[in-house]
Amino acid sequence: MQNFTAMGANSNDIRTVTFTKSAASGAGVVYNLGANGAALFANTTTADQSSFMCHANGGGVLFHDSATAERAVFVLDGGAGAGNFGGGVSFFDNSTSASAVFTINASTADSHDNFGTSGSVNFYDGSTVGDGFLVAEGGMVAGAAGGAISFYEFSNAGIALLVANGGQNGGLGGVISISSQASGGTARVEIFGDGTLVTNGIASVVIGSLEGDGILI
């Protein structure tokens, strides 16, 4: 198994692994994206069946154009401490997360006091989820922000399984947010405890099904 690490020496030193044209990141390859480390997929590239460990304070992956996450696995760490942001994955243009699996972890400290943020997955423009699985974990310590899954603009949740788990020990639940212009597709959404689905009561937001004992806003 191959293992690659991208991590900047400081906030001004961003190390990026870039895939262009029709490149693939490789089956079974592990990418450790540390502080200020990133991976960029453009054109018709694919994340194949790679694994991406997106660590706190800048570890992230960006998909543009018609790039696809294919069947990759993503683990996004939450941040802890002042200005320590969680790992993130963002989809733009007509890119898709396809059949990828995402574990989106909560921050590991009180987000109000320390400004640490959770891991997050964000969909913009006309990007889609496909039939992937995304789980936003709840915080495990008091005040810790739960993982976040967000749909903006004209993105589409497809036929994905989206889960927001509740927090423990005073931690906050995971959050799934669908904006007014985005489409929930026929996604199956499961929310538990104080895990939350946010639609702001907009009637135009439609999903396939809603299960669990969580919070609907």
pLDDT at 68: 99
Tokens describing residue 98: 């396809």
Instruction: At 40, give phi and psi (nearest 5°).
Output: -125, 125
User: Chain-centre distance of CA 56, in angstroms?
Assistant: 13
Nearest to 165 by CA among 143, 191, 202, 141: 191
**Which pLDDT score, from 0 to 100, does residue 115 have?**
52
Task: Measure the CA–CA gap between 84 and 204, rounded to whole angstroms.
Answer: 36
Distance CA 175, CA 120 (A): 10
Interatomic CA distance for residues 151 and 179, integer angstroms: 6
Residue ranges covered by each domain of the chain: 2-216
**d(C-alpha 96, C-alpha 158), whole Å:** 10
Instruction: State pLDDT tens for residues 50-108.
Output: 999 999 887 899 999 999 999 999 999 998 866 678 999 999 999 999 999 999 999 99
Q: Does the pTM exceed 0.85? A: yes
Instruction: Please report the sign of the dihedral spanned by the C-alpha atoms of residue 183, residue 160, residue 17, residue 14.
Output: positive
| Residue 165 in tokens | 């788990």
* Residue 212 token pair: 């669990």
SS3 142: coil
- Contact (Cβ atoms closer than 8 angstroms) between residue 159 and residue 186: yes
Question: How many Å is the Cα radius of gyration of the chain?
Answer: 16
Q: Which residue positions in the chain have pLDDT lower than 50? A: 8-10
Tokens of residue 110, six digits: 């009180």
Q: How far apart are CA 181 and CA 179, in angstroms?
A: 6
The pLDDT of residue 9: 44
